Structures are given as C-alpha cells and as structure tokens.
Amino acid sequence: MPGTTTNFGFRYPLLGETIDATSWQNLAVDIDAVMTRINDLRTKAFHAPTASIGNTGSASLPINSATTVIADMLHNVVNWDTAGLTNIVGNPERINLTPGVWYARFTAGILQNTTTVQQATVYIREVGTGFIWAANSTSNITNPSSNVTGPLTVNAVVVYPAANSITGSVQWIGTGGPAHWTDINGSNLQVYRLREFLDV
C-alpha cells in the first residue's frame, strides 16, 4: 500500500515496500495528471478568448427612421478570433460569448447622409432580447445643423452565466436620411474574456 503526498496524492512506496517499475510508473502517472491540469490553467491564463469584427470600405448601415429604430451594425470582416466566437457570414451582426464575464467595446464610424443630427447613440446589446448592456450618446447642441457625427464608442462589462450573443447597435435622432453609419475612422465590435463565470 503506497503512501501519498499531501496535496495531490502522488503515490510513492513506503519503507519496506518493493521499489519496482510500477512504483515509478505510479508516481510518473500521478505527476503527469497534475501537470496536465496546470498546463490547462496556463493555457487559459495566457490565451484568453478574444474576437473582433469590423467593416471594410464597402459596408454601411442605412437607418430610415430618425427616432425609434435601434439597428445592429453589420460587419463583414473578422479582425481576429481566437476561440470560434464569430460567424461573419451567417451572423454578421454578433459575437457569440461563452459563459463568463467579458469586456466588450463597440465603435461606430461616422454618420452621414443626414440633414441634421440632434443626437446619436451607440449600444452594446443582447441578441434576441435587445437588452442593453451599455450605451453612449452624443448630441450636437451647439451645432445642430451638423450632418456628420462620430465616430462613437461604447464599452461594457458583460456577464453571462450561460452562452449568449451581443451586437453593436446604433440609433440617431434628427432629420433627413436614411443615415449611413460608415466605416470611416473605423467600425468594430470586439471582446475579450475577463474571467469564466465560475471559478476554475
């Protein structure tokens, strides 16, 4: 009956027991298992899941209603994706998140093709429910006749105990249109995971 170590139960022969190949194998196998656990944690620590989707020059998002519509930005390029979080062809508006706490940022490029813009807002929202994780507004108070707004950025800490998806969304209040949120000065939605929802 071998002895075992304090924390991980590595097996070793006791005094008087025969030391044979099995003794060495038991110890090696036990250490191997713990090293694998450590390596898994190391991988998580140094390779947090992250993704970024954005637009190239041809992408824009017309919005026809000036007051009530919140529209999801549609992206057409994956800037990076280390964990299979995106499906740019099938779901160009979203990033899919695994359970955990995520830091998300969305930037919408310049808003054009309007007569006036009174207020513009960018959102990070939940797919399906439209739940707002964060939003950021800007207003053209001193120059309400301006027809150019942005770029605008919003960031959020997003908490999901189960898998879910988020979008970057936009809204404007003003006259003219339909407005186009362009890629000028960049439009992108990106995330990285701060931690898993449960302790590892």
Identify which range of 26-34, 83-91, 106-114, 181-189 contacts another protein by CB under 8 A. Answer: 26-34
Q: Which is nearer to another protein, 56 or 175 (CB)?
A: 175
Chain centroid to CA 122: how far? Answer: 16
The conformation of residue 145, written as its DSSP 8-state character, comes to: T
* Residue-by-residue DSSP string for 146-166: ---B--EEEEEEEEESS-EEE
Is 38 a binding residue for another protein by CB under 8 A? The answer is yes
Identify which range of 9-17, 58-66, 71-79, 176-184 contacts another protein by CB under 8 A. Answer: 9-17
H/E element, 44: helix 21-46
Is 29 a binding residue for another protein by CB under 8 A? The answer is no
Identify which range of 15-23, 78-86, 89-97, 177-185 contacts another protein by CB under 8 A. Answer: 15-23
Cα–Cα dist 146/149, whole Å: 8
Identify which range of 49-57, 73-81, 88-96, 133-141 contacts another protein by CB under 8 A. Answer: 133-141
* One character per residue 160-179, x = contact with another protein (rule: CB under 8 A): -------------x------
Give, in order, the Cα–Cα distances in Å from 111 to each of 54, 60, 108, 153.
Answer: 16, 10, 8, 13
CA atoms within a 13 Å half-sphere pointing along the CA-CB vector of 93? 17
Give, in order, the Cα–Cα distances in Å from 72 to each of 42, 92, 129.
Answer: 36, 9, 13
- Vertex 174, ends 168 and 177: CA angle to 5°? 75
Is 116 a binding residue for another protein by CB under 8 A? The answer is no
Interface size with another protein, residues (CB under 8 A): 54
Residues between 52 and 81 with contacts to another protein, criterion CB under 8 A? 67
User: Which residues contribute to the site for another protein (CB under 8 A)?
Assistant: 3, 5-8, 10-17, 19, 23, 27, 31, 34-35, 37-38, 41-42, 44-45, 67, 101, 118-119, 121, 123, 131-141, 154-157, 159, 173, 194-197, 199-200
